[in-house]
Amino acid sequence: MSEIQSLNTANGRRIAYAKTDGQGPTILFLSGLKSDMEGTKAVALEAWAKAEGRAFLRFDYSGHGQSSGTFAEGSIGDWHQDTLAVVDQLIDGPVLVVGSSMGGWQALLLARARPGRVVGLVTIAAAPDFTEDGYWSGFSQAQKAELDREGFVTLPSEYDEDYIITKRLIEDGRDHLVLRSAMRLNMPVRFLQGTEDTAVPTAQAVKLLEHVEGNDIRLTLVKGADHRFSDDECLRTIQKMVKVVLARG
Using one digit for the tens of pLDDT, what is the confidence trace for 206-223? 999 999 999 999 999 999
Q: Is 227 a catalytic residue?
A: yes
Percent of the residues in the chain that have a pLDDT greater than 90, as a whole number: 94
Mean pLDDT for 233-238 is 97
* Domains of the chain, residue spans: 4-129+182-248
C-alpha 165: how far from chain center? 18
Q: Is 21 a catalytic residue?
A: no
41-70: buried (b, 16+ CB within 10 Å) or exposed (e) per residue? bbbbbbbbbbeeebbbbbbbbbbbbbbbbe
Q: Is 197 a catalytic residue?
A: yes
| The pLDDT of residue 157 is above 90 | no
Write out pLDDT tens, residues 51-90.
999 999 999 999 999 999 999 999 999 999 999 999 999 9
Which 3 state secondary structure label does DSSP give 87? helix
**Residue 198 · residue 227 · CB < 8 Å:** yes
- CATH tag for 4-129+182-248 (out of 3.40.630.30, 2.40.160.10, 3.40.50.1820, 1.10.3720.10): 3.40.50.1820
pLDDT band at 161 (very low <50, low <70, confident <90, very high): confident
| The pLDDT of residue 147 is above 90 | yes
Mean pLDDT for 215-243 is 96
Query: Out of 64, 78, 101, 172, which one is annotated catalytic?
Result: 101
pLDDT band at 1 (very low <50, low <70, confident <90, very high): low
- For strand 189-194 and strand 217-222, is the pairing parallel, antiparallel, or unpaired? parallel
